[in-house]
Amino acid sequence: MSFFILRSNDIRNRCLEEIGELEINERTPYQVEIKEYKHNRTVEQNRRFHWVIRKIAAHVGESVDMMKQIITQQFIGMRAGVDPLTGDVVHYLPSTAGLTTAEFSDLIIQTEALAAELGVAIDENMG
């Protein structure tokens, strides 16, 4: 599988070259998706979010996993999809891994505000 972020004509040309080399037939179709690139959350954002989650979980006496689910549902909400086995509409909690840096930043701000409301001490240096 290849993944290209088109930032220059050279990269675009390499992408087109790879597409041109594909053996296309009905038994092995390929999927091509073109969309604006958005940076996913950073490692530092992820560290901070999970640090705040651990602090809140300890404060309220809940597991870290459950606290993350509760906060994700509260601030991001549930998503709807179709169960491929039954065709039924199902609701699920989205992963935070696909959030952009801006979306994840908003989630961290909301989570830190919740921590403050609960009286959980949060500092900038995660100390």
Report the 3 state secondary structure along 39-101: CECCHHHHHHHHHHHHHHHHHHCCCHHHHHHHHHHHHCCCEEEECCCCCCEEEECCCHHHCEH
Residue 25: pLDDT band with limits 50, 70, 90 = confident
What integer best gives the mean pLDDT of the chain? 90
Distances, alpha carbon 75 to alpha carbons 71, 80, 100, 108, 111, in Å: 6, 16, 15, 10, 8
Residue 67: pLDDT band with limits 50, 70, 90 = very high
Residue 117 has pLDDT above 70, yes or no: yes
Q: What is the pLDDT of residues 8-19, one digit of tens each?
A: 999 899 999 999
Question: What domains sit in the chain, N to C, each tagged with a CATH number?
Answer: 43-118 (1.10.3790.10)
Residue 47 has pLDDT above 70, yes or no: yes
pLDDT for the residue numbered 127: 60
Structure tokens at 91: 């609701």
pTM: 0.67
